[in-house]
Chain A
Amino acid sequence: DAKTTQPPSMDCAEGRAANLPCNHSTISGNEYVYWYRQIHSQGPQYIIHGLKNNETNEMASLIITEDRKSSTLILPHATLRDTAVYYCIVRVAGWDSNYQLIWGAGTKLIIKP
């Protein structure tokens, strides 16, 4: 699976949009981009995933560049409860593939009042 690069930490003001970047320059055509987050003392939580089109759900939006070498997770109106470590993972989907997720160091996002 392709590796990802994320900034180790970011700050964002409460109520503003938090934009978390991720580089995955070696991504393959059949690899999806997944985002998870881990709030302190909890297990990781799935946020969103996408292949090449931008995606939006109730939690966040995922913007993937046209060349698929990078993506941005957007939390449109960050709250203090969004303070967490955010992990960007690229992964082959499909029931005949290896099911592992390879976890990088992630970005520690701190939302400030």
Chain B
Amino acid sequence: SAVISQKPSRDICQRGTSLTIQCQVDSQVTMMFWYRQQPGQSLTLIATANQGSEATYESGFVIDKFPISRPNLTFSTLTVSNMSPEDSSIYLCSARSSTVYGYTFGSGTRLTVV
């Protein structure tokens, strides 16, 4: 299955600033996703990153707060904008290949906003 490199692995940021998280897959994949996992909680889907078009956001998540890019079939970025302490969380990139049933995940970005 695909291997995902996600960076940074962790960061501590000041409130009001923005952080861009990068997700690189070692092979072309059909679908890429961004999740948030708050401390002690399960995964919540933020959006589906669509190649060549605007991302599809889930209820409660908006493009102005979480702009996403996907310029090609192996790369995506998620930006957490105008951060507040409530944005402190783990952010996970995921990908699905057309050749396998499973979804692969990056190791996550642990974000702390102070």
Report which A residues bind B (CB closer than 8 A): 32, 34, 36, 41-46, 49, 87, 93, 95, 99-101, 103-106
B6-33: which have CB < 8 Å to A?
Answer: 6, 30-31, 33
Is B104 close to A, CB under 8 A?
yes
B103-A101 in contact (CB<8A): yes
Please provide the 9 A-B residue pairs with the shortest distance between their CB atoms, ordered closest to farther. Answer: A43-B105, A46-B102, A103-B43, A103-B42, A44-B105, A99-B31, A43-B107, A43-B108, A43-B106
A42-B48 in contact (CB<8A): no
Report which B residues bind A (CB closer than 8 A): 1, 4, 6, 30-31, 33, 42-45, 48, 92, 94, 96, 98, 101-108, 110
| B4 neighbours in A (Cβ, 8 Å) | 43
B43-A45 in contact (CB<8A): no
| A104 neighbours in B (Cβ, 8 Å) | 42
A32–B101 CA distance with the chains assembled, in angstroms: 10
Given contacts A42-B108, A44-B43, A87-B42, contact A95 B98 (CB under 8 A): yes
A42-B42 in contact (CB<8A): no
B48-A99 in contact (CB<8A): yes
B42-A105 in contact (CB<8A): yes
A49–B33 CA distance with the chains assembled, in angstroms: 20
| B107 neighbours in A (Cβ, 8 Å) | 41-43
| B104 neighbours in A (Cβ, 8 Å) | 46
Which of A41, A49, A106 is B42 in contact with, Cβ under 8 Å?
Answer: A106
Closest chain B CB from A1 CB (angstroms): 12
| A44 neighbours in B (Cβ, 8 Å) | 43, 92, 103, 105
For this complex, 22 residue pairs linking A to B, each with C-beta atoms less than 8 Å apart, are A36-B103, A41-B107, A42-B108, A43-B4, A43-B6, A43-B94, A43-B105, A43-B106, A43-B108, A44-B43, A44-B103, A46-B1, A49-B102, A93-B101, A95-B30, A99-B96, A101-B45, A101-B103, A103-B42, A103-B44, A105-B42, A106-B42
Given contacts A104-B42, A106-B42, contact A43 B92 (CB under 8 A): yes
Given A43-B105, A44-B103, 9 other A-B residues pairs in contact with their CB atoms under 8 A: A34-B102, A41-B107, A43-B4, A43-B6, A44-B105, A49-B102, A95-B30, A100-B33, A101-B45
